[in-house]
Structure 1
Amino acid sequence: MDISPYSVPAEPVVFEEEIKKSRFITYLAHTSGQEQAKAFVDNIKKKHADARHNCWGFVAGRPENSMLWGFSDDGEPSGTAGKPILAQLTGSNVGEITAVVTRYYGGIRLGTGGLVKAYGGGVQKALSLLITNERAIVVQMQFSCEYSHIALIENILSSHNAVQVNAEFSHNILITVEVDARVSDLVADEIFSRTRGQVVVSKLQ
């Protein structure tokens, strides 16, 4: 599993331009997964049901994971819309992103080269306006410890920005946390060594 972080959109972007009397509106949004991506596409299609075309592309996971890419020309000549849109998205190294380009036809044909330039260019310009956040890969870890160790463990977890998901209290304490995958081994080793192996550590994913 690749545990390096990647960029995702922080907020939506809308970019509009007119090319030879055709109106192109490019929408970018953060969509985590294929279902969200398709739902976003459907929403834009409903919003612009009167448009000639609503072409789209998405990267539904890590930027380099081609298994989670998708695109559609939505009636434009094959290869003139969906592929240029997707090419701009994959070239941006941003993950979990969907682009929909709505076209209101203005009566002047752009030709295949003109369409590629219009669709790809709209996404390129929209991407130049995009603000991103870092998406860290997290793993869930579980610690089984005695009550006497809880203060030490919480201190270690806090120093590594771990987020507590659950805690169960019985004869001992079972703590479930989410932690950045890049430091998960370090956290486990530190807790193991500072409690002299008295805390049971396990990764849940």
Structure 2
Amino acid sequence: MLKEYRTILEPGTDEIVEKKSRFIGYIRHTETEEEANAFINEIRKKHFDARHNCFAYSVDGQQQTIRFSDDGEPGGTAGKPILEVITGKELCDVCIVVTRYFGGTLLGTGGLVRAYTDAAKACIGATDMVTKCLVVPMRLTTNYTDFGKIQYLLGNHNIPVLDSEYGENVVVRIEVLVDDVPMIVKQLTEVTAARVQIEQEDAVYSVR
């Protein structure tokens, strides 16, 4: 599995005009081919009267399933340039659709590549990119005396407490980068003389 990757959380859209042809770019977070295809069909229905709805996507996280389509444009002038923008930004779990309304002037191969590239970049620029890291969620149960030591240790490693419960003991929930798990478990055990109870869950991706 990838230790980390870049993606977006919120959709984005923007438009450029090249010699009266409109290129409307849309980007959305999609984690599977099914989600990507549903998004593509949504844009096709929205712009049913457009000449082309070209797309590219990279999904499935660590698997990185990649697809693209020129949707009737000359081969290599639309889908591939969109995909190259996605890979150039090192994005995953995203789908970009660029809708073109023909303006009456042929743009040529180079002009099409530039236009689809610029439209893809524009819609990415209309949203925010984030980094998702592979983390291990942990549930720590400790007494009040050791809790101060644990807080100090977590602070030194910039690990935030996501949730806490105060009762007979203190229960906190944290997320630890997968590569740091052995070190953090060792240090938690040492500072509490093995009194802390550590429950680990399966690794998941989390925005950092």
Structure-1-length-normalised TM-score: 0.74
The sequence identity of aligned pairs, in percent, is: 36
Q: State the SS of the aligned residue for 2:98.
A: strand
Query: What per-residue deviation string (whole Å, max 9, x for no partner) do you get for residues 64-121 of structure 1?
Result: x673322121222222211110001111123332211001123333333322222122
Aligned-partner residue type, residue 99 of structure 1: I
CA RMSD of aligned residues (A): 3.4
Shift of 1:158: 6.1
Gaps of 5+ in 2: 203-208
CA contact (8 A) 1:162 1:180 kept: no
**Which range moved further: 72-81 or 178-187?**
178-187
Shift of 1:127: 3.6
Q: State the SS of the aligned residue for 2:64.
A: helix
Q: What residue is the counterpart of 1:52 in the other structure?
A: 51
Q: State the SS of the aligned residue for 1:136.
A: strand
Q: In the alignment, which of 131, 147, 152 is matched to residue 128 of structure 2?
A: 131
In structure 1, C-alpha distance between the alignment counterparts of 2:80 and 2:149, rounded to whole Å: 50
In structure 2, C-alpha distance between the alignment counterparts of 1:196 and 1:6, rounded to whole Å: 36
Structure-2-length-normalised TM-score: 0.73
Query: What per-residue deviation string (whole Å, max 9, x for no partner) do you get for residues 27-70 of structure 1?
Result: 123334444333322221221111111111122255xx673322
**Which range moved further: 84-93 or 184-193?**
184-193
1:108 matches 2:108: no
In structure 2, C-alpha distance between the alignment counterparts of 1:79 and 1:41, rounded to whole Å: 19
Gaps of 5+ in 1: none
In structure 2, C-alpha distance between the alignment counterparts of 1:177 and 1:204, rounded to whole Å: 11
Aligned residues: 198
**Which range moved further: 184-193 or 150-159?**
150-159
Q: What residue is the counterpart of 1:87 in the other structure?
A: 84
Distance 1:176 1:131, change over 3 A: closer
**Which range moved further: 179-188 or 71-80?**
179-188
In structure 2, C-alpha distance between the alignment counterparts of 1:185 and 1:38, rounded to whole Å: 40
